[in-house]
Amino acid sequence: MREYLLTLCITAAVTYLLTGPVRKFAIMAGAMPQIRARDVHREPTPRLGGIAMFFGLCAGLLVANHLTNLSQVFENSNEPRALLSGAALIWLIGVLDDKFEIDALIKLGGQMIAAGVMVVQGLTILWLPVPGVGTVALTQWQGTLLTVALVVITINAVNFVDGLDGLAAGMVCIAACAFFLYAYRIWYGYNIEAAAPATLFAVILMGMCLGFLPHNMHPARIFMGDSGSMLIGLVLAAGAISVTGQVDPDVMKLFSGSERNAVHQMVPVYIPLVMPLTIIAIPAADLVLAIVRRTWRGQSPFAADRGHLHHRLLEIGHSHSRSVLIMYFWSALIAFGALAYSVNSASMWIVLGIVFLSAIGLALLLLPRFTPRAPKWAEHFVPPRYRRRKALAEPAVNTPEQGETAEAPADEEDRTPVAAGVAGVNGATAVGPRSRFSR
């Protein structure tokens, strides 16, 4: 676990430290498009945040390759090299799109090529665990098509949900955390070495997202762009492919008693191939709804609009930050609910807990105007918007007399006195309102 924590910290640190210089580079390169009709931010914001995330990925793989235990992943498997090859290709396509906004069909073709590159190097689905049937071996063509489909769907699901500050990075980080815990349990709990690459991919993905989030939280100073959203989508898909298509349930049945029990213990992993990803079910649902909505209107499925789930949260009255937190909540509930079910599927308390938390989530959705307030002792540790506002005393309004000065009330936004005035009659000074453009 210490080597995984070190890899996580190095990946996060490199991503965090490089994001600032990348922001300056994006501004100089002109990768800061004007605000579009579907955007929710008010000022032009630079993209290309995926550059820092890609170098964080490279740093994480480089550090892991020199650690005692994690270096065995590179010696016994070619999957890390396959991931790096596919990530480099999809990242390059994303950088070009952030700068020049290439056609959607070209991006789709690049996503398929990146997935094909990983398949050629061995990162592919070899078999599927099917409940009640057992392990179903796939032919080469079946495995290739299923792998490419999973990669493309996951990339576009993450790309579609990247509409609010910190939303995509936070949701993928939550999914990666749950996925890491599951893969780590298979690797060290069942001593199945085939789960080691997926565990490494998940911890590196967490580091990439955690390092970028401080720069991307509302109000964001930089966006990850397609270079970042497609990159983290591909890394997440690579982990799901690795642990689902490479771990043989026949090995797990030695520890669970039978193959059927082993297959049922693989539920949170093989479901992503059907859903396609339970751990990011919210972005996947948003993707399906967007395709249906745009096709019904006679538009292209790749035509952007303001009908995504996070846009709907804003429309019903939720603030930007609150909408992001609600999406975090549902993502964590689904991801960690599946994780808890995989540990003990027979426990009724897990089901009751998920139902209870779902009720809380529904209540949050129905109270868009409610703003939580922190207690007084915790006000110094939370953002200003969660602190209790003190009542301001109303200033006394007096009629100016000869030799007196009539002061105007403070500005409503910054509470600073108005400084400009116009000379009045008999030496009195009448203070006029200040223009908002004189700040």
Is the separation of the CB atoms in 159 and 283 below 8 Å? no
> How far is it, in rounded angstroms, from Cα 238 to Cα 230?
12
d(CA 122, CA 119): 5
Inter-residue contact 119 to 145 (CB < 8 Å): no
CA distance 42 to 45: 9
Nearest to 237 by CA among 302, 193, 284: 284
CA of residue 318 relative to chain centroid, distance = 19
Cα angle value 300/304/309 (rounded, 5°): 115
Looking up tokens 């085939």 gives 194
User: Cα 230 to the chain's mean position, in Å?
Assistant: 11
Ligand-binding site membership of 226 (annotated): yes
* 54 contacts 225 by C-beta, under 8 angstroms: no
Query: What gap in Å lies between CA 29 and CA 51, rounded to an integer?
Result: 13
Query: Residue ranges for the binding site?
Result: 159, 226
Query: Residue ranges for the binding site for Mg(2+)?
Result: 159, 226
